[in-house]
A and B are shown apart, each in its own frame.
Chain A
Amino acid sequence: MKVHEYQAKEIFKEYGIPVPKGGLATTPQEARKVAEEVGGNLWVVKAQIHAGGRGKGGGVKLARSLDEVEQVASQIIGMTLVTHQTGPEGKLVKKVLVEEGLNIEKELYLGMVIDRSTECPVMMASTEGGVEIEKVAAETPEKILKAYVDPALGMLPFYARKLAFGLGLSGDLLKKGISFMTNLYKAFIEKDASLAEINPLVITKEGDIIALDAKMNFDDDALYRHPDIAAMRDLDEEDPLEVEAKKYDLNYIKLDGNIGCMVNGAGLAMATMDIIKIYGGEPANFLDVGGAASAERVENAFRILLSDPNVRAVLVNIFGGIVRCDRVASGIAQAAKNLKVEVPMVVRLEGTNRDEGMKILQESGLSFITATSMAEAAEKVVQAAGLK
């Protein structure tokens, strides 16, 4: 699960990680009030969306007076912000974070993830902060320092020292850097994060180390033990169809194509998307109806997948295992009847009780197109969608 910058910064504060003074606003007037409370004579107004690269897209602006804060906030709130992470359609900005402007001496990078190969947390630091870190990683990987932390030991000081010295910190800054990293590690582990990224981490002219930006993602599977994090979920940032699908425990991801897919199992669902593409079509979605694939689930799945107006044909690919094909077939027939499905539907059933399942479909009085192999199903659905 993703959270906003302002939410990540609230967590940081809880762990003693320094962040700029600031507050959230949803109107220009509120933005002015926050700026007043923050004080000083330089402020930054930052769009709060679940995507980075806001600075370049015009979603982060400096203001030198309270009037300017109000003015800049009125530009950002309500704008559709396009960044390299939002896709071309952009994201509507509903809230801004108003913060004190800092005297930046240097912009660094600090990040943390669970490394899958070594199966331990890794903290990464770089002197090349502020820019796209993916670029640094691709072009000059030696500029990203890494500390693989033994989870049994935790963030011992030597890991942090290794990174802090590598960043060229010394004296008071070294101490501040080490404490920053130690606290970040603690926050990450205690909150079951899957990613933390501070880009840039700044050194100010006054000699402080501050998280100027903050990004955190959390492990969905651990949310049950973090109600505070779960409450940070912002449904405005998610696709409404995906939100709807989650209510029924369906795994749905909307894509750009026009062939709707309904499959049991994530791997088979991905493979089905792939084979549609091989036959010249484009999948409209990823949808895993899960192992149970009961009539009710199938009906909800159809409803969600058909509410995407781009869908011109549907491919159902079920490998019946413990769940028998005849059961799934009755579910499909019932759902198609109830929902009055109008687009052509290709159904491929394989596995337990396949023949019984096929018979149910054929006798349902509905015009299913049936297929026996994945290849045949893909070919037929692309044809049915009028793409070939």
Chain B
Amino acid sequence: MSILVNKDSRVVVQGITGKEGTFHTQQCIEYGTNVVAGVTPGKGGTMWEGKVPVYNTVAEAVEKEGANAALIFVPPAFCADAVAEAVDAGVEVIVTITEGIPALDMMKVKRSMKGKSVRMVGPNCPGVITPEECKLGIMPGYIFKKGPVGLISRSGTLTYEAVWQCTERGIGQSTCIGIGGDPIVGSTQVDLLKLFNEDPETELVVLIGEIGGTAEEEAAEYIKEEFTKPVVAFVAGRTAPPGRRMGHAGAIIAGGKGTAAEKIAALKEAGVHVAESPAEIGATVARVLGK
């Protein structure tokens, strides 16, 4: 088992004919992901790279190819529309890689998903991977390895760093999710912790947070109340000055809120094993797992 995606996921790539879409679709297929369709309005009826059928709408991809997961590479100005289309077509899992979607667009789309069972990850994220089964994203596949660790992270390369530290120690992963660096994201840490709580394959979760917002505090609250597995965390941005956006739209200490110190304190309070240094994430996981 794993969460969100696995070897049975049937993937439709929205924006498959673009430069990014083409490159990363190729990589996903090489990893073993079952890409069953692409969508580019106006290019329906063609074959992408001679192997994947392209449709004009997501609904067609769902109907004709049985797509149940979407990977989105649509440019920011049109991306909210693309996500809404995937929701409307009944896709179960939507992973949005696109960076730079206006916050108000995300707010509306997120609202429209309320009450539906669809799950979205992103935007502005590296995607989701269930090692050795399905890669729905832009991460380098070879650094991952199947195993007991679930990972939830707000950042991309820092995720790779953490995963690599685990893999190098022989510790594999169940599913790794980059939730994205925006203020409003499709799935929050709490949403995904709930899924990991139910996943028998996941023995421990690594949570990689960063400054800005209160998502880590909310995760800490949930962990304290309900989460049954050990959690290892790292929070980036202890040295970040207030009022400055540190790359990610969501990584900003505003009105004195969202500091790393507050988040670390809340997580520790909830019994989470907090790695003080980004170099110690893997070692902390190994220690907690008794390896």
Contact = CB atoms under 8 A, between A and B. Distances in A.
Given A114-B184, A373-B279, A119 B140 contact: no
Given A274-B239, A275-B278, A374-B278, A221 B214 contact: no
A267 interface: yes
A137 B255 contact: yes
A267 B208 contact: yes
- The secondary-structure label for the interface of chain A is mixed
Contact of A319 (B105, B138, B157, B181): B157
B238 A194 contact: no
Interface string B101-112: 111110110110
B248 interface: yes
Interface in A130-149: 134, 137-138
Given A194-B103, A222-B104, A322-B138, A265 B155 contact: yes
Contacts of B278: 268, 271-272, 274-275, 374
B-side interface size class? 35 or more
Contact of A120 (B77, B107, B214): B107
Contacts of B76: 221, 224
Given A222-B102, A271-B278, A138 B256 contact: yes
Most B-side CB within 10 Å, residue of A268, A320, A352 = A268
Interface stretch (B4-12, B83-91, B159-167, B225-233): B159-167
Interface string A231-274: 00000000000000000000101010000000111111111111
B175 to A, nearest CB: 18
Contacts of B244: 253, 286
B102 A192 contact: yes
B255 A134 contact: yes
Interface in A278-317: 278, 283, 286, 288, 291
B121 interface: no
Given A274-B278, A275-B279, A221 B103 contact: yes
Contact of B181 (A117, A267, A273, A375): A267
A185 B143 CA distance: 47
Interface string B235-252: 011111101101111110
A137 B278 CA distance: 33
Contact of B241 (A138, A150, A255): A255
A14 interface: no
A116 B214 contact: yes
A-side interface size class? 35 or more
Contacts of B157: 263-265, 267-268, 319, 321
A224 B138 CA distance: 26
B148 to A, nearest CB: 23
A57 to B, nearest CB: 17
B77 A267 contact: no
Given A264-B157, A267-B156, A268-B158, A221 B236 contact: no
B280 to A, nearest CB: 8
A274 B107 contact: no
Nearest to A120: B107
A184 to B, nearest CB: 15
Contact of A267 (B23, B155, B218, B256): B155
Nearest to B213: A116
Interface string A145-163: 0000011100000000000
B215 interface: yes
Interface in B248-291: 248-251, 255-256, 260, 276-280
B158 A119 contact: no
A5 interface: no
Interface string A92-132: 00000000000000000000001011011100000000000
A138 B255 CA distance: 10
Given A192-B102, A283-B239, A116 B155 contact: no
Nearest to A324: B140
Nearest to B102: A222
Contacts of A39: none
Contacts of A271: 158, 161, 234, 236, 278
A385 to B, nearest CB: 16
B174 interface: no
Nearest to A375: B279
A265 B158 contact: yes
A350 interface: yes
B27 interface: yes
A319 B213 CA distance: 26
Contact of A151 (B100, B107, B238): B107
A40 interface: no
Interface of A: 85, 114, 116-117, 119-121, 134, 137-138, 150-152, 189, 192, 194, 219-222, 224-225, 251, 253, 255, 263-278, 283, 286, 288, 291, 319-322, 350-352, 373-375, 378
Given A220-B249, A266-B251, 8 more contacts: A219-B103, A221-B100, A255-B239, A268-B157, A270-B155, A270-B236, A270-B246, A275-B278
6 contacts: A116-B250, A137-B255, A225-B77, A264-B157, A266-B181, A269-B247
**Top 4 A-B residue pairs of the complex, sorted by shortest distance between their CB atoms:** A267-B155, A266-B247, A265-B157, A267-B158
